[in-house]
Structure 1
Amino acid sequence: MLELLFLLLPVAAAYGWFMGRNSVKHKELKDRANITKNLSSGLNFLLTDQEDKAIEQLLHLLDIEAATIDTYLALANLFRRRGDWDKAIRIHEKLHQLKLPKQQAQQIQFELAKDYQSAGLYDRAEKLLAPLIKKDFLRERALKHLISLFISTHEWDKAIALNTAIDQTNSTSLKIALANINCEHMGQASTIDQMKPLQQLAEQFPMAIRPRYELARLAFSLQQHELAFSVFSEILREKPQWTADLLKLAEQCQPDKDAWYQLLSHLSNKHNNISAHIALASWLLQQGSVTAAEQLLLDKLQQQPNIRLFQSLLDLRQQQSEQAAEVLTSVNGLVNNYLDKKVLYSCRNCGFKTRQPYWLCPSCQQWETVEPISGIDGR
């Protein structure tokens, strides 16, 4: 009889293991059914515009199942884009409390910081973003949001202190932003003592226009016309899209005839710039070459139809013919009325349009992206 009991022990153990396994599996199935039920309820609340109830239901589900993090991130980002920052914050704060892998936890921390920044809670956003600039995979994005935050609060010193971290990235936009922030911090340069700091900024940030522009403007105000013209010319050769604004400033530096002609020829022939075409035609007129000026405008109009080139040709013909002057004056007036309503600048990043220049785009908050427009109405 005792031997029989020993023989039955393995059978009892196997039965116990089997029943226990079935019990665990049954619990798992029951939990999954509850999760599905709660998730369905949450989605139903969303579809019926009962968002507060939906969030409560879905946040409760987080305590049971953390495997659907991406779904919650997408939902929170949707709320943030809609401007429902409080809802996005609630979801991201709940996610931030979960024990998750380090990289995933840092990503959620970054998203929560973006919520705080969008809601105007800058102190909280800064506190979360500051540690993330030490993480390679988040450094550049965290820096961009920190820079944006400090621009909003005009805390130039804090932004400039990020110089070392920005140097560790390959982001041109961040370096252009830092160059402009240094200029903002410096204020409007007006004394000889500010010449050297501007030269250092121009050398440190060759990809930015602002430091060189401020340097040229300061040199001009100090009667250093040769230096001012040299810097303006450098910018124009590198960034011909700024010709519409900077060419007049360069002309005020009273360059010698050869240097001025070479600059205009370069911008007109190599870069096909409208403002340069018009300025070159004007220079030819000053030299007494009326026919050459007219032919230049006609040739450029055939190659590149443009209202402003047409207007310059009208002005030239008006000066040549007294008989046609009255008719041409009327046409010129119509052209002026048309051009007065056209925008002059456009942001190459977001498409924002305006009639006045900005170093910082009011729409997308990017530096040096608002440029003179090109095309049939362009300059």
Structure 2
Amino acid sequence: MGQNSLKHKELKGRANITRNLSSGLNFLLTDQEDKAIEQLLELLDIEAATIDTYLALANLFRRKGDWDKAIRIHEKLHQLKLPKVQAQHIQFELAKDYYSAGLYDRAEHLLLQLVNSEALREASLKQLFSIFMATHELSKAVALTTEVANTQSKSLRIALANLHTESLKGAALDLTILAELAERYPQAIRPRFELAKLALAQHDAATAKGALLSILKQKPQWSADILPQLSQCHLDEDEWYQLLTLLADKHHNTSARLLLCDWLTEHGSITAAEHYVLDKLRQQPNIRLFQKLLQIRQQQSAQAAEVLSSVEELVNAYLASKILYSCRSCGFKTRQPYWLCPSCQQWETVEPIAGVDGR
């Protein structure tokens, strides 16, 4: 009788758990999140061994912005004696709760403990970098250089390069420091971009030229921003022509084609420039090349200049409203460049767009 009584109580308890879980999931499926949360909370009070249910509920709270409830659940789980891998995962989730709630010091403390965990090292470092950006403690990010080197993550190296470069703002910059950063982090383009900018300011055309050419070789889509600076580096005519031809023909870059058109006008004839633009427009339509064609036609015919100028004004108004950059990670669109995407918080993912409106 005693054994039967115990089994009966156990089966009754399991039935209650199953009933609460089923009704809670039903509320979730019918978009009644508030009722689902209450129902699942009752389940958690009954059965504390359902770790996956706890984690799912805490993530639900965090998405809703109820960070205090998510923190309470994860803290409760963190106190349990669990396998190491599962315990570290819960610790990481708790750190994310603290970060979302603005408790950066607590999140940092937990994440630093996870940096030596092979499974969570990369994710922990990315979260730490977000904290250091929010607290403007960039020197702490630089101190994690060794930990980043122990990963295979390209995105982490790019992030560290940007944070290191950002930390140098306001300091007495010299070319040596930026050159060392550019050499240490070849995956990132910002150190070389800043190196070139400083070199041009100090009239060191050779250093600027080397940095800018290496960026173009790695990221030809940045031609619209790099070529105007490169034009200040005293390239000879043949080298400039060959570079523009390579970018225009191999990479189909619109900015290079526009500059090549100017080169043809200066060193050849305006008719050659017109034929070149028409040929490229037939191959790949682009509104900026069409604008250049309008300018050429205005120079050729004073009679048509008045009509064409009004058309060019319409084209200019159209271009003034178009985006120039887009994040390849999340699709964020903007007219100005960002090293850090404001939407997905990824470094160096906002790049110039291509296509009909591209540069």
Shared fold per TM-score greater than 0.5:
yes
CA distance in 2, matches of 1:36, 1:215: 63
Which residue is 2:78 aligned to? 96
Following the alignment from structure 1 to structure 2, what is the Cα–Cα distance between the partners of residues 289 and 189? Answer: 49
Q: Deviations over 1:183-209 (max 9, x none)?
A: 111116765xx1111111111000100
Q: How many corresponding residue pairs? A: 356
Matches within 5 A, 1:333-344: 333-344=313-324
Q: Cα deviation per residue 1:220-266 (whole Å; 9 max; x = unaligned)?
A: 11111122122212211221111111111111223211221121111
Instruction: From the superposition, tell whether residues 200 and 134 of structure 1 become closer, same or farther in structure 2 (CA, over 3 Å).
Output: same
Q: For structure 1, which runs of at least 5 residues remain unmatched after alignment?
A: 1-18
Correspondence for 2:165: 183
Structure 2, unaligned stretches of length 5 or more? Answer: none
> Given that residues 21 and 39 in structure 2 are in contact (C-alpha distance below 8 angstroms), is that contact kept between their aligned partners in structure 1?
no
2:352 corresponds to which residue?
372
Q: Counterpart of 2:61 in structure 1: which amino acid?
A: F
Partner residue in 1 for 2:219: 239
How much does 1:44 deviate?
7.5
Instruction: State the secondary structure of the residue aligned to 1:371.
Output: strand
Query: Take 2:13 and 2:40, find their aligned partners in 1: how far apart are those partners?
Result: 20
Measure the CA separation in 2 of the matches of 1:368 and 1:284: 34
Secondary structure of the 2:115 match is helix
Structure 1 distance, partners of 2:78, 2:172, is 50
Question: Where does residue 59 of structure 1 map in the other structure?
Answer: 44
Of 179, 188, 191 in structure 2, the residue corresponding to residue 199 of structure 1 is 179
Does 2:38 align with 1:49? Answer: no
The answer to whether residue 67 in structure 2 is matched with residue 82 in structure 1 is no
User: What's the TM-score once normalised by structure 1's chain length?
Assistant: 0.88
Deviations 1:68-110, CA, capped at 9 Å, x for gaps: 3222212221221222222222222222222221111111111
Deviates more, 1:127-136 or 1:69-78: 69-78
Aligned residue in 1 for 2:306: 326
Kept in 1, the 8 Å contact 2:25–2:36? The answer is no
For 1:169 and 1:28, locate their aligned partners in 2 and report how far apart those are by CA, in whole Å.
48
Shift of the 188–279 alpha-carbon distance from structure 1 to 2, 3 Å rule, reads: farther
Counterpart Cα distance in 2 of 1:357 and 1:344: 8
1:350 equivalenced with 2:330 (yes/no): yes
C-alpha distance in structure 1 between counterparts of 2:203 and 2:343, whole Å? 37
User: SS at 1:134's partner residue?
Assistant: coil
The 8 Å contact of residues 342 and 377 in structure 1, kept in 2 or not, is answered as yes
Q: Is the 8 A contact 2:261 2:276 kept in 1?
A: yes
**Superposed CA offset, 1:12-31 (max 9, x none):** xxxxxxx6654543342133
**CA offsets 1:272-298 (integer angstroms, 9 cap, x no match):** 101010011111111132222112111
* Cα distance between partner residues in 1 of 2:3 and 2:155: 58
Specify the alignment match of 1:168 in structure 2: 150
CA deviation after TM superposition for structure 1 residue 40, in Å:
5.3
Pairs within 5 Å for 1:1-379? 21-39=3-21, 47=32, 49-50=34-35, 53-54=38-39, 56-61=41-46, 64-66=47-49, 68-187=50-169, 194-379=174-359
- Would the alpha carbon gap of residues 190 and 323 (structure 1) be closer, same or farther in structure 2, given more than 3 Å must change? farther
Please tell me whether the aligned partners of residues 39 and 57 of structure 1 are also in contact (alpha carbons under 8 angstroms). no
SS in 2 for 1:346: strand
Distance in 2 (alpha carbons) for counterparts of 1:373 and 1:100: 49
In 2: Cα distance, 1:324 partner to 1:146 partner: 61
What amino acid maps onto 2:300 in structure 1? Answer: Q
C-alpha root-mean-square deviation of aligned residues, in Å? Answer: 2.0
- When normalised by structure 2's length, the TM-score is 0.93
Distance in 1 (alpha carbons) for counterparts of 2:320 and 2:26? 54
Deviates more, 1:198-207 or 1:222-231: 222-231
